[in-house]
Structures are given as structure tokens and as C-alpha cells.
Chain A
Amino acid sequence: MKRKILTMLVLTLFALSSAGLLAQGQEEAAAAAKPVAIEFWTTETQSDRMATIQVLIDTFTALNPDITINLIPVDENALATQTQTAAAAGTLPALFEGPAETAVSFGTQGVLDIQATRAVVDKIGKDRFYSGPLKVLETTDKSSYYALPYHGWIQGIWYRADWFEEAGLNPPNTWEDTLKAAEYFYQPDKNQYGILVGTLPEAYAEQCFTPIAMSNGAALFDADKNLVFNSPEMKEAVEFYAELAKFNPPGPQTWRARDYYLQGKMAMFFYSTYIMDDLAMLEAAAGSLTGDNFGDLSGADFDPELVKNTRIAPIMTNESPAGYGTVVALGFFQQDDPAKTAAARKFIEYLYTPNAYITFLHMAPGGMNPMLKEIASNPRFQNDPMGLFKSYGPEKMAEIIDGLENVETFSIVEGVRIEEASEITAKQIIPQMLYKITQEGMSVDAGMRWAEAEMRKLID
């Protein structure tokens, strides 16, 4: 009963605030009431997420019958390529949802509409956003933003707490402890591996590498925008990474190798909070498997203790502590037809209304965390479908969300936003270097020289 009243109260608040935003939207709609069709590229390619976003679109277009939105899934690793092709052909969509670094890279190429972005930020109110993520997306002159932060995740090393305990090892919070554990658990003759770090030239490798470099004080640029990639700190980080990679499963690997962890063949792996969703599903599946029908499961690689004994070490420390996460942003591509931009603006504003926002975030509890402070403390948000807030506890979840405030990337140095670093990330130069060093047998020095040359090509 109590809960019901509370819910009612919250709902009323939502309704009021949504109505406010909608009213503003409707004024603008009056100005451009002719039918308009826009495209929306999303990197949420899973079918269930697509279906949820489609509901948001359907609801929005039901309320705005003159707007049609075509939702198109684009693989995160192909986003830059697809944009390139579309830009060359003049067929960029009005809207996209993708990693902030990619958005900044688009912004520096001049294909984004930063006026429209600025207008939306102003309308929502800058102070309602977490400041860290917003800063990631700020333009150099600080006059506007390349895109709007919409949700985010943090990353850490997930590990088998029971294995660590049994072996008397410390959790993988520091370079030393991580390496020690990776080495200890690496038993290839038993088909068991120590750790998973990305060694394929994909975004995942950079996601693993960034906190390691950051924790050693290594950077791509200094605050004056000079490339300082080739530093002793960076070299140590690369060497350490290459050392860790020796305890990987054989050959080049990417996030898909987390399967080995789920099969109990690996001790640790870098992963985002999205795994919470997967683990919850695995636990549900496990629940159904241990029933009467499956009494003869012995011998199969299924470990019912796995989910219970999985922990995260979100901060890596060597010289200094560092965490890593990614902000996912909504951005406007420049359009020839202002009506399209107007329609896109209206839709984004709708997505920020609490009702739509929470629906969106609940697609992947743990993986998708809000960028507006008020949503994080919203009881409806905390009442997620997976029951993560309940099982992990509000403190843990708050910690994750707070982590977003301290998201560190190579593209912000002492508060200065460095577009070139985002370019380097978008072009996956560091993952390519790590691949060359760990897989092609290139020496660390040669690999770093190669990467530096590639970076200089981009900057000039």
C-alpha cells in the first residue's frame, strides 16, 4: 500500500515534468507541422532493445503524427565506417546513438549539428546532468557540446572471488596483484587461463588498456595538446599489458572470450557492468537447470557457484588509481532540411522525459546508467526488472553511477578537451598497436613508434 502511494506520487511528478517538456515541444511543432521522416541510428543492436526503442518511437510518433522515425541498428565497430559512407553519399541520418568518443570524432569532422545540441542541453538544464560525462562531450571552445550524454557504463576486472580466496591472492586492484593472479591461474595444460585482455584490434582492447595506462600516469597528450604518447610511463603500461596478455587464452582475443569465464576456464576478465545483465540471466538459466530434470549434469562444465562468486574490481592502481567507463551519447548529424533537425530535437527531448528515460535504461540494468542526477535517485529507476538494485544493493549501484562522474579517457587532460585523442580512439590506433605487439611479435618500441607515426598522420 505504501509503495503504491509512493509510486502514485512519483508518477504525478513524472507526468508534470513530461507535460512541461511536451508543451514546449508542441509550440515548436506548430511552426513546422508538415510531415517529416528522419532516421535514427542506434548501436543497441540486440533485438529486444530495438523493440523497446521502437516502442518509445511509436509512442512519440503517436503523439506527433507528423513525424516518422526509422530506427536502424549499426554495429558499434562499424559506426565510423557507415558514417563515412553516408557522409560521402549525403545520406547521414538526423540522429545517432553511440559512444561519446565517436561522437566527438564526428564533431571534429564537422558533420554534427552542435547548435541543436546546445539548444537541447540548455532546455534540459546543464545542472541536471552529471558534469563528468557532459565534459567529455564539450567542444574545445566550451561554447557547446558535440552530443548529449544519455547513458553510460563503467568497466572493471570481474574475477572469481572463491578462487582468489582459496589461493590466498589479493583481488586484482593493483598491477602487481593482477599480474600475480593472472600468472597463478594460467594453467594452459588444464585448459584454464589467467585473464582476458583485448588483443584483437577492436575497441575492447583500448577499453582494457586505458585504465592501465591511466593508472601509470601515461597520457596521449599534455594539457597544451602536444602528443606525449612516447613516454616512459606509456612504455611501462604497454609492457605490462603485453605481459598480462601472455596469460590470455591462446591467440588474439576479444570480449567474446568471456564465454571461457562463464565456463569456469578463466579467472578474470575486463568487462563493463553489462555483464551484470548476462550474469543475472545465467543465474536464471542455472536455476532452471538444477531442477529434477537435470540430475545427470555432472561432468558438464557448469558451475552453479559461478554467479555467486563473481566480483568486480573497478579501479586499477599503480602510480595512481584509475577507472574506466564509456558514456553513450545522442547526437545530431547535420541535415539539409531544418525540419528534420527540429523533429530530431523534439524526439531527443522526449527521450529525456523521466518516463521514456527510465524505460530506455531498464533495457539493460547495470549496463545503462542515467546521466541526469534526478533519475539515479528515482525509485522507479531503482526498481529495475532484473532486481539488480536489490541484489547488488543500492550502495553498490550508486558507486557505479558515481563512477561515471570520474570517467577518465585519453581525451581530457586536466580539464582540457582534446579532440585529437578522440580521433585516435575512433581510428583504433592503440588496439592495432596492441595487436601488433602481442600477436605479430613486434617489439614494444617498434609498436609504439608505429602508433606514434599513425597518430601524427591524424593530427597533421
Chain B
Amino acid sequence: MHAQIKNTGKLPPGGSATALTDGRTRAQREELLGWALVLPSVAIILALILYPVLYNIYLSFYQVNLSGASRFVGFLNHREVLGDREFWNALLTTIIYVAFSTVGATLLGLGTALVMNEKFPLRGLVRSLILLPYVAPVISVVFSWQFFFDPVNGIFMDIFYDKLGWFSQRINLIGSPATAVWVAIIFSIWKNFPFAYLMILSRLQAIDQNLYEAAEIDGAAGRHKFLYITLPEVYFVVNAIILLRVIWNFNKFEEVYLLTSNVKVLSVYTYLKAFTGAMDLGQGATLAVLQFILLIGFILFYVKRVIKW
């Protein structure tokens, strides 16, 4: 028999000042232990993240010259970046990319989880197959996508232009700047929806079936069961997924750059700015700082207002 455990939904009662034998209060012991347990993680994160972050901020005030000394330029980089139309284009592209890929992956994940929560033959196999896009290395799937959309030899154009005639001519969807971002979004959804699916599915499986049975006795329709039981149960995990996906997709570099190389989301724009053309490391660092500010703003808003973590 499986143990049935009810979720209290509350934090454990930890703060009570029960005096213990060693003379310290339980609260004090907890405080020490709490820090001790989290310290290794914090230390390693500080060492490998804090330094680069500070270094980036430092660099953003300099005109970086590789062969000679760097020159302090104050807010010049910031002004130049903000005054550059390409930056705003990149920001817009990023917002489109992040919004559509996040919503798409979450919705598709939710839908798939609902389907996979039903019983049907070969469900185990299907569940495994669905995870494949997510577990395959980015670099190993981009070439297949590139070939799929190849305007001359790809299957996509063969089906939708030659066979179905949905396009008036062969188009390089993955190469042309106007359409590439949409291919990148579809790729991102394809690659990442299994994450949402997996998270939501394990949550669905944890829903007490008694709730549904009770609802059925009350004569609730499927739609109502979904609205009043399923949705509230997955609300938290969906929010967590959205938060994570926004953060991840915002910083996504490999999935975009390796796929098409001309979808200039911020991370790619920063890379191009810092490592190609005039190789402006100072502006690259400035862009990094700006990305940081944008993202932290979003996270604080989301965590405080939506998840109430």
C-alpha cells in the first residue's frame, strides 16, 4: 500500500524557541546549520559568478584595448549602446523570442502532460520519445534543422512549396532575417517543451485522484475538472517553469547562434559586439550589465508579484 501523505502547504514549524540540552535555542542551532549547509554552494557561486559580474561592470567603464592599456571613459559605452538602434532591435527580437518561446513551450508542455496523463498503449515508450529533443545536445540537432529548412534541398520546402503550394516561391526560412527568428522560436519550443511537460506531468501524477472522483460524483464536466482541480494544482509549477524559461531563454546563446547565426537576440548581439567586427569588449561588458539589470528587474517582479516566493 502506498503511503498517503497530505501536504500541509506550510513551512515547517521551525522558529519555536524550544530550549535544547546544549544550551542553544533551537532557532540558533537552525541558523548555524542553515548557513553551514548552504555555504559550499554559496561559496562556489560567489567565486565563479561574483568576480565575472564585477569585472564586467568594471569593463563597462573602459575603452578596452587589447594590445595597450584600457582607457577609462565613464558612461560613454552606456550612452553609445543606448543610442544604438541595433541595441533596441536586439532587445525587441529578444522580447519576441523569449515571449513566444516561453509561452509556446509551456503551453505545449501542459497540453502534452495532460495527454500523457491518460492511459493508452505504449505510453511508456511515447513518454520516453517525447523527452528526446530535450536531452539531445544542441549541437547535434541544429544541423538536421538546418537541412530540414534548406531552401533548395530541404523537406520543408519540398512539402509546403512543391507539394502543397503554400508558398509562392522557395524561401530560406532559417536564413532570412525576417523569418529566422520564428524558426528559432519553433526550435526553442521543440527543444524545451519536454522540460515543461516533465515538470507538469509529475505534478499531475501527484494530484489526489479522490478529488476527481468526488467531482465526478458531483457531476462536473471534464472542462470543469480541468479548471477547478487540475489548473490550481499545477499553478505553482507552471509559474516556476515560466520563470525559469524566461531566464534561460533570455540568456540563450547556443540554441540561437548555432541554429541560424543571424537572429540577433541580446546574447548573440553581445557576442558579436565583443568578439567580432570592431571587437568592442567595453561595449560587450556594458551590454552584459544592461542584460543583467533587465533580467533582475523581471525576476524581482515575477517572484514578488506572481509566485510570492
- Complex contact flag A–B (Cβ < 8 Å): yes
Q: Hey, which bits of chain A sit against chain B, CB under 8 A?
A: 80-81, 84, 87-88, 109-111, 188-189, 191, 193, 200-201, 249-253, 257, 259-260, 263, 265, 427-429, 432, 435, 439-440, 454, 457-458
Contact of A265 among B152, B175, B261 (CB under 8 A): B152
B277 touches A432 (CB 8 A): yes
Contact of A111 among B67, B152, B172, B279 (CB under 8 A): B67
B174's closest neighbor in chain A, by CB? A251
Contact of A251 among B176, B261, B275, B277 (CB under 8 A): B176
CA–CA, A84 and B67, complex, Å: 9
B153 touches A263 (CB 8 A): yes
Q: Hey, which bits of chain B sit against chain A, CB under 8 A?
A: 66-67, 151-153, 169-177, 261-262, 275-279
CA–CA, A257 and B175, complex, Å: 12
Contacts known (A265-B152, A429-B277); A110 close to B67, Cβ less than 8 A: yes
Contact of B276 among A81, A110, A191 (CB under 8 A): A81
- Collect the chain A residues with CB atoms within 8 Å of residue B170's CB: 188, 191, 250
Contact of A84 among B261, B262, B279 (CB under 8 A): B279
B177 touches A440 (CB 8 A): yes
Least Cβ–Cβ distance between A446 and chain B, in angstroms: 12
A249's closest neighbor in chain B, by CB? B152
A252 touches B67 (CB 8 A): no
| Residue from B151, B169, B174, B261 with most neighbouring chain A CB atoms (10 Å) | B151
Contacts known (A265-B152, A432-B277); A250 close to B171, Cβ less than 8 A: yes
CA–CA, A398 and B174, complex, Å: 42
A193's closest neighbor in chain B, by CB? B152
Least Cβ–Cβ distance between B170 and chain A, in angstroms: 5
A250 touches B276 (CB 8 A): no
CB within 8 Å: A-B pair count: 73
- Collect the chain A residues with CB atoms within 8 Å of residue B151's CB: 249-251
- Collect the chain B residues with CB atoms within 8 Å of residue A81's CB: 275-276, 279
A251 touches B66 (CB 8 A): no
A265's closest neighbor in chain B, by CB? B152
Least Cβ–Cβ distance between A345 and chain B, in angstroms: 23
CA–CA, A429 and B272, complex, Å: 12
CA–CA, A413 and B170, complex, Å: 42
A252 touches B277 (CB 8 A): no
Contact of A454 among B153, B169, B261, B278 (CB under 8 A): B278
- Collect the chain B residues with CB atoms within 8 Å of residue A249's CB: 151-152, 172
- Collect the chain A residues with CB atoms within 8 Å of residue B175's CB: 200, 250-253, 439
CA–CA, A448 and B66, complex, Å: 28
A260 touches B66 (CB 8 A): no
A191 touches B66 (CB 8 A): no
CA–CA, A457 and B177, complex, Å: 26
A251 touches B172 (CB 8 A): yes
Contact of B172 among A252, A260, A432, A435 (CB under 8 A): A252
CA–CA, A80 and B274, complex, Å: 12
Least Cβ–Cβ distance between A18 and chain B, in angstroms: 37
B175's closest neighbor in chain A, by CB? A251
- Collect the chain B residues with CB atoms within 8 Å of residue A200's CB: 175, 261-262
Offer 15 A-B interface pairs, CB within 8 angstroms, sorted by A: A81-B275, A111-B67, A193-B152, A200-B261, A200-B262, A250-B151, A250-B170, A250-B172, A251-B151, A251-B173, A257-B152, A265-B152, A432-B277, A439-B175, A439-B177
Least Cβ–Cβ distance between A424 and chain B, in angstroms: 10
Least Cβ–Cβ distance between B86 and chain A, in angstroms: 10
Closest 4 CB pairs of A and B: A251-B172, A251-B175, A250-B151, A250-B172
- Collect the chain B residues with CB atoms within 8 Å of residue A458's CB: 278
Least Cβ–Cβ distance between B269 and chain A, in angstroms: 13
- Collect the chain B residues with CB atoms within 8 Å of residue A259's CB: 153
B179's closest neighbor in chain A, by CB? A251
Least Cβ–Cβ distance between A348 and chain B, in angstroms: 23
CA–CA, A259 and B173, complex, Å: 19
Least Cβ–Cβ distance between B181 and chain A, in angstroms: 13
A188 touches B276 (CB 8 A): no
CA–CA, A84 and B284, complex, Å: 14
CA–CA, A88 and B151, complex, Å: 41
- Collect the chain A residues with CB atoms within 8 Å of residue B261's CB: 200
Contacts known (A251-B171, A251-B175, A454-B277); A84 close to B152, Cβ less than 8 A: no
Least Cβ–Cβ distance between B265 and chain A, in angstroms: 16
Least Cβ–Cβ distance between A138 and chain B, in angstroms: 20
CA–CA, A109 and B67, complex, Å: 6
Least Cβ–Cβ distance between A117 and chain B, in angstroms: 18
